[in-house]
Amino acid sequence: MSNTIDLKKGLDIPIKGAAARKVVKTVVPDVAALKPSDFKGLVPRLLVREGDSVLAGSPVMCDKRNPEILITSPVSGTVHQVLRGEKRKLLAVLIKADGKNEAVDFGKRKVAPLTADDVRELLLKSGLWAGLVQRPYGVMADPAVKPKAIFISAFDTAPLAADFDFALGDQAGHVQTGINALAKLTGGGVHVSLNVENYSGSPFHKIEGAALHIIRGRHPAGNVGVQISHISPIKKGETVWTVSLTILAAIGKLFDTGRCDLSRKVAVTGPAAENPAYVEAFPGMPMSAVSEFCKKDCDVRYISGNVLTGENVGADGYLGFFDNQVTLIGEGREKELLGWAKPFRPKLFSTSHCYFSWLTPKKVYDMDTNLHGGPRAFVATKCFADVTPMEIFPIYLIKACLAGDIDKMEQFGIYEVLPEDLALCDYVDPSKNDIQAIISNGIDLMIKEMA
Amino acid sequence: MAEESNVSKPGLFEKGGKLGFLHSTADAFETFLRVPGTVTRRGAHIRDAIDLKRVMIIVVLALVPAALFGMWNVGYQTSVATGAGWGFLQMFWFGFLKVLPLYLVSYIVGLAIEFISSQIRNEEVNEGYLVSGMLIPLIVPVDVPLWMLALAVAFAVIIGKELFGGTGMNIWNPALLARAFLFFSYPSKMSGSEVWINLNRGTAVDGFTGATPLSYAFDGADGLSKLDGAGFDFWSLFAGFVPGSVGETSVIAILIGAVILLWTGVASWKIMLSSVAGGLLVGWLGTAFGVTDIPAYYQLVLGGFAFGTVFMATDPVTSAQTETGKWIYGFLVGALTVTVRLFNPGYAEGMMLTILMMNTLAPLIDHCVVSRAVSKRAKRV
C-alpha cells in the first residue's frame, strides 16, 4: 500500500449537467467513423476500399512508418465512404454497420503463459495497440520500445467526466486481465492510480499485479500525466506508456473473449443536455445518436470528450476513439452589455475573487462557450501555477514553446506534459490565450527536431 | 443569389471596410460597452469570466480612495499654507479642479498613443493604460505643468511600453517611468520645497516652508525631532495631512486600496509583505547603528513607501513572476528604498528609482529561481 499523494493545486469547474448513473439508451450502430486524427503520430495508409465488407476487428488502416500498427473497425458492416480533405488528406473512414455485430475471432487466451511477443502481436493484430499512448509527446506507442513503466488512471477528474466506477465497474475482471497482459510489456511494472475519495468503494482497488497509488486533489489530479510526475517523473530519454481504463478493459476483453469489443458506456453530459445520463455506445458513434439529449431552442456545440480537452465535432461529427463522454454546451454568442464592469454577474463562475462566485462554492453554473474577453499578452500569470499540480513553471514552459526554444522546453518539462495537463490554464487565463494549442505546437516541434 | 448574401460587405470599421484602418479603435469602444460574443475556437471550450478589463478596473477602483483623499489634501494644504480657512467641500472642490486636468492630460495623451499603437500592431487595445493613467497623476506634484506631464506620459508609453510590444511586454512600470522622466528632465518642478503645495496665486502665511516630511526626516541623524518640530507626528503621516505627491500621502487611503487588491488577489501579498519587512529591517538597522533616530515603522508612512509598495511594486508585468522571486523582489524593494533614505539625504525619496531598478533586476531574480528549480529537477530521481 503506497502513501496518498496529496495535490494541493487544481480546480474543479462547477459546470452543470453531470450524467445520472444510469444507462438510458443503447445506441444501435448505424454508421461508425474511424478518424486518423484520433491517433497522434499516425500516418495513415488505407487498407480497404469503399464497398469492402469488414467485421469488428478487421483492419481498416495501418501506420505507414510502422505497418504492423493497425486501426481496426469497431463494428461489422461495409466501408461506406472515405472522407478526404485538402491534399487528399484522409479525414475519416465511414463504416455502415450491418447490425449483426460480427467480430473477428482472435481466440481466447490465458495471459499467464504468454510471452511479451505474444501479447504485442495480439494487440497489434486486433487494433488495440493504437490505444496505447506513449510519453513523452503522447504519441502512439512504438512496438519496438520497452517502456520504463505503464501508467493507468482509474478515475477522471475532468469536468462532468464519466464515472469509471459506474461505467467500467462491471468490467473489473477484464481490467485485471488487461493489466496482467500489459505487465509483460514493461520491466517497470504497471501503476494504477485511484481517487482517495472512493478508494475502498472502487471496484478497482482489489487489482493485483500493479502498484496502486492513491491521489487526493482536484482536477487535473485524475490526469495520468500529473500522476506520473508525482510517481516517477519522465526524464530525458525515458519512455512510458499510458492507457485509459476504457481501452484497458477492451484489452482485457480481447484476451478473455477473443473479440475486439470497444463498446463502452458513454456519458452524455453538459449544460445543454436534457436529463444527462449514460448511453451504451461505441467509438466512432455519430453525434446524431445523442442529439435527442439536446435542449430545445439552443445553439449547441457537440464536444467529443470533456469541455477542457474535447474536440468540437459538430452535430454531424463522431465520437473519438478514446472518448467516453459527450459534452453538449450552448454557444455563447450573446453580447453582454457592460459585462466586465458589472459588480455582480451571478450567472458566471470565476476562480478570481474579482467576481463574487467564490462566495457560493456549492453552486453549479450553466456555462457556455463565450470567451468572456479578448486575447491579450500575458499579464496575470500566477493563476497558471495555481491550477498545475506539477513541478513545472507553466508560464516559462509556455513561453519556451512560443519561442520554439528546444533546450528551454526540455528544461522546463516538456517531456512530462501533454496539452491536457495544462488545459486548466486555458480556462483561467484572463488574457484568453490558447495554452493547449501553444503546448501542442511545442510538442510537435520537439517531435520534429528530436526525430 | 444565395451566394451573394453569404459574401456580405465588410462593416464600416471591419477589415476591408471604409474606415477599416480604425478597427482597433472601434473594437475597443465596442468591447468596452459590450462583452464580445466571441466563442472559443481552440483549446478549452469554456473560459473563466475574468478578463483583463475586470482585473484593471479592480486596480483603478483600489486607487479611488487615494485619489479622492489626494484631491482633498491638495485643497487642505493650500488652505493651511495661505491661511484661507476653507471648509471641507471647498478644499475638495479646489483639489478636484487642480487634479482633474492632470487626469485629462494623462488619459488623453496615454490612451491616444495606446490606440494608435494598437492600430499599428493590428491588435485589440489593451486595458493596461487604464491603470497607468490612473496612477500617474497620483505620483506627481499637483503643480506640475501640464505640457511636462503630457511629455512624460508620451515618453513612458512610447519608449517604456509600446516599443516593447505593449502592455504585458514592458520591462518597467510605465507610471514610474513617467515620473522618472519628469524628475530627471525638470528637477525644479519635481523636488525641493516649493512644488508640493499650490498657493492659489496667493502668498504663504508666515513660517510656511512647504517641505515634505521626508526632507525633515532624513536631514541628519536627529530626524525625529525635526519632524516633530515641523508638526508632523505619526498620526498626521498615517492619515496623510502632509504635503507630497497627490495620492501618496494617506496611508489609510492606500490601505483601503491594498485591502481591495489583496482581497481580489490582483496584487501579490508576498510582494507587499516582503517589501514592508525589508523596509522595517533596514529602518531598524538604521536606528540600531545610530544613522537616524526615526523609528523603523515611520519608514512605512513616510513619502511614497506605502503607495509604491501597494500599487507600483506589485505590477504583475514588471515584478518578479516566480513565487520565490516575489519574496526576494519585494524584500529588496523595501530594503533598498529605506537604504537610500538613510544614506542619500540629498534626495531621500528612494521608492521610484528602487522599484525601477528592481523592475530591471526582476528577470534576473526569476532566472536564478528558475535555474535552481531546473537543476533540482535534473537531479531528482
pLDDT tens digits, one per residue of B170-202: 999 999 999 999 988 888 877 777 777 777 666
Domain boundary among A78, A97, A116: A97
- Where does a domain end: B154, B177, B198? B198
Residues B174 and B74 both lie in one domain? yes
pLDDT for position B217: 78
**Average pLDDT of span A387-403:** 92
How far is Cα A276 from Cα A270, in angstroms, rounded to an integer?
7
Query: What average pLDDT does range A75-81 have in this prediction?
Result: 93
A410 and A272 inside one domain: no
Q: Average pLDDT, stretch A352-374?
A: 87
Please say whether the dihedral angle defined by the alpha carbons of residues A355, A361, A362 and A368, taken in this order, is positive or negative: positive
At residue B19, the pLDDT reads 65
Q: Which of A311, A360, A370, A412 to mutate to test the interface with B (most CBs of B within 10 A)?
A: A370
Packing angle between helix B174-185 and helix B351-379, nearest 10 degrees? 140
Cα nearest neighbour of B47 on chain A: A427
Least confident among A80-89, B44-53, B179-188, B343-352 = B343-352
Whether residue B259 has pLDDT greater than 90: yes
In a domain, B345, yes or no: yes
Please tell me whether residue A423 adopts helix, strand or coil conformation: helix
Is B223 inside a domain boundary?
Answer: no
Is the model's pLDDT at B105 over the cut of 80?
Answer: yes
Q: What is the pLDDT of residues A185-199, one digit of tens each?
A: 998 899 999 998 878
- Residue A6 inside a domain? The answer is yes
Residue where a domain stops, chosen among A291, A324, A342: A342
Does any domain span residue A319? Answer: yes
Same domain, A181 and A227: yes
Region B125-152: mean pLDDT is 91
Residues B191 and B282 occupy one common structural domain: no
Q: What is the pLDDT of residue B2?
A: 39
Same domain, A161 and A77: no
* Residue A370 belongs to some domain of the structure: no
Q: What does the DSSP 8-state code read for residue B209? A: -
Query: Is the same domain home to B294 and B161?
Result: no
CATH code assigned at A72: 2.40.50.100
**Local confidence band at B1 (pLDDT 50, 70, 90 cut-offs):** very low
> Are B193 and B281 in a shared domain?
no
Structurally, chain B folds into a number of domains equal to 2
Which chain A residues touch B36 with a CB distance below 8 Å? 335, 371, 373-374
B-contacting residues of A 48-67, CB under 8 Å?
A: none
Interval B30-52 mean pLDDT: 82
- More confident of the two residues B15 and A44: A44
Indicate if A138 and A272 belong to the same structural domain: yes
Q: Are residues A149 and A199 in the same domain?
A: yes
Q: Which domain holds residue B73?
A: 13-32+51-198
Q: State the Cα–Cα distance between residues B65 and B87, nearest whole angstrom.
A: 20
A430 contact residues in B (CB cutoff 8 A): 48, 50-52, 54-55
- Minimum Cα–Cα distance from A419: chain B residue: B43
Cα A367 from Cα A17, distance rounded (Å): 10
| pLDDT tens digits, A405-420 | 999 999 898 999 999 9
pLDDT at A165 over 70: yes
Confidence tier at A142 by pLDDT (50, 70, 90): very high
Whether residue B16 is predicted with pLDDT greater than 80 in this model: the reply is no
Q: Give the pLDDT band of residue A313 (cuts 50, 70, 90).
A: very high
The answer to the question of residue A199 being in a domain is yes
Residues A251 and A177 reside in one and the same domain: yes
In a domain, B160, yes or no: yes
Residue B25 lies in a domain: yes
Chain B nearest-CA residue for A433: B43
Contact B47 A427 (CB under 8 A): yes
Residues A319 and A245 in one domain: yes
pLDDT score at B320: 92
My answer on whether A112 and A124 are in the same domain is yes
Tell whether B304 is covered by a domain: yes
Distance in angstroms (rounded) separating the CA atoms of residues B361 and B171: 10
Name the domain count of chain A.
3
ipTM of the complex in this document: 0.88
Range of the domain at A417: 383-450
Mean pLDDT score across all residues of chain A: 91
Q: Check residue A357 and give its pLDDT.
A: 86
Model confidence band, residue A360 (pLDDT cutoffs 50, 70, 90): confident
Q: Verify whether the Cβ–Cβ distance A377 to B373 is below 8 Å.
A: no
* Residue-level pLDDT at B15: 61
Q: What is the pTM of this model?
A: 0.89
* Pairing state between β A190-195 and A150-153: parallel
How far apart (Å, rounded) are the C-alpha atoms in residues B30 and A340? 13
Model confidence at B358, pLDDT cuts 50, 70, 90, reads very high
B75 is a domain residue: yes
Domain-embedded: residue B204: no
- A110: exposed, middle or buried (Cβ count in 10 Å: 0-12, 13-18, 19+): exposed
A372/B377 CB distance under 8 A? no
Answer whether B52 sits within 8 Å of A376, measured CB to CB: yes
Q: Verify whether the Cβ–Cβ distance A377 to B168 is below 8 Å.
A: yes
**Are both A242 and A299 inside the same structural domain?**
yes
pLDDT band per the 50, 70, 90 thresholds, residue A319: very high
A58 and A121: one domain?
no
Domain end position, chosen among B198, B221, B255: B198
Do A198 and A297 sit in the same domain of this protein? yes
Residue A276 lies in a domain: yes
